Amino acid sequence: MKVKTIIAGNWKMNTGAKEAGELVEELLANIKTGAYGPAVVLAPPFPFLADTVQRLAAATKGRQQWMVAAQNCHQEEHGAFTGEVSAPMLKSLGVQACIVGHSERRQYFGETDTAVAKKVSALLRHGLMPIYCCGERLDERQSGRHREVVAQQITTALGNLTPGELARVVVAYEPVWAIGTGVTATPQQAREMHAFIRAELRRIAPGVADQVPILYGGSCKPDNAAGLFAGEDINGGLIGGAALSADSFAALVRIAQEAKSTA
């Protein structure tokens, strides 16, 4: 079974309402997805989710190639958690996916593997697609612990899922040392870690592991994407800064489609 190719754009805490709307319209004009093209996922900040859902619904007529994702969610369904947003709330807006475990959430907000595991489960209970992020810091790679760290993250967050649940998850590998630094993992480094993650997924659920998309997320740009996307277990990208330009994001979608159509 051929794994779905996904290009997901994480806007992080960028754009205002007007800019966000304009960016969606530019992306719709620049990105043409055919029946076998990559799935395109847009992850704007919380205030712009509803507008993005509405714009995509009107323009794409519900085509599965386009999805809207939140950048985070709380693990509980409701309660006294001021400032948080739950999976049912996202579902009610028409959001289809959610990024969880992003390195910035772990670094700046102290999110643990256990907390992220609960978020994955909450999303699955409500029919949303988790985009689960894992990856090592620079000191962990330099000390040779990068595989150990990633294996622990995957085991904690995904190890207790049923095969059916795991088949609904997308994994994003983030070499934390390559996020926002301008440094990118070499294609060989990325391929090695993606192959390792695939092996870990096979250990958890061998029957469905090969169906799980694994995205690369670490300073992926049009000038380095072809080499990255050529990897057998690299099924697309979780894009940060390059997702804020319609031209660069559209270029990444095209590069991914070309790379996987010739694979």
Per-residue pLDDT of the chain (263 residues; tens, 9 = 90+): 578 999 999 999 999 999 999 999 999 999 976 656 799 999 999 999 999 999 999 998 767 689 999 999 999 999 999 999 999 999 999 999 999 999 999 999 999 999 999 999 999 999 999 999 999 998 899 899 999 999 999 999 999 999 999 999 999 999 998 876 767 789 999 999 999 999 999 999 999 999 999 999 988 999 999 999 999 999 999 999 999 999 999 999 999 988 877 66
Q: Which of 100, 43, 38, 11 is nearest to 225 (CA)?
A: 38
Active-site residue, selected from the candidate residues 111, 174, 194, 200: 174
C-beta of residue 134 within 8 angstroms of C-beta of residue 152:
no
Active site (annotated) includes residue 126: no
Q: Give long-range contacts, CB 8 A cutoff, 24+ apart: 19-23.
A: 20/44, 20/45, 20/48, 20/51, 20/52, 21/48, 21/51, 21/55, 23/244, 23/246
Pairwise CA distance, residues 190 & 228, whole Å: 7
**122-178, pLDDT tens digit by residue?**
999 999 999 999 999 988 998 999 999 999 999 999 999 999 999 999 999 999 988
Pairwise CA distance, residues 7 & 235, whole Å: 9
Pairwise CA distance, residues 214 & 218, whole Å: 13
Angle at 61 between CA 47 and CA 41, to 5 degrees: 50
pLDDT confidence of residue 260 = 74
Pairwise CA distance, residues 122 & 166, whole Å: 13
Q: Which of 245, 252, 165 is nearest to 216 (CA)?
A: 252
Q: What is the set of domains in the chain, with CATH numbers?
A: 6-261 (3.20.20.70)
Q: How many residues does the chain have?
A: 263
Tokens of 15: 């754009």
Active site (annotated) includes residue 194: no
Active-site residue, selected from the candidate residues 102, 104, 146, 200: 102
C-beta of residue 197 within 8 angstroms of C-beta of residue 134:
yes
Q: Which residues contact 46 (CB under 8 A, 6 or more apart)?
A: 70, 71, 85
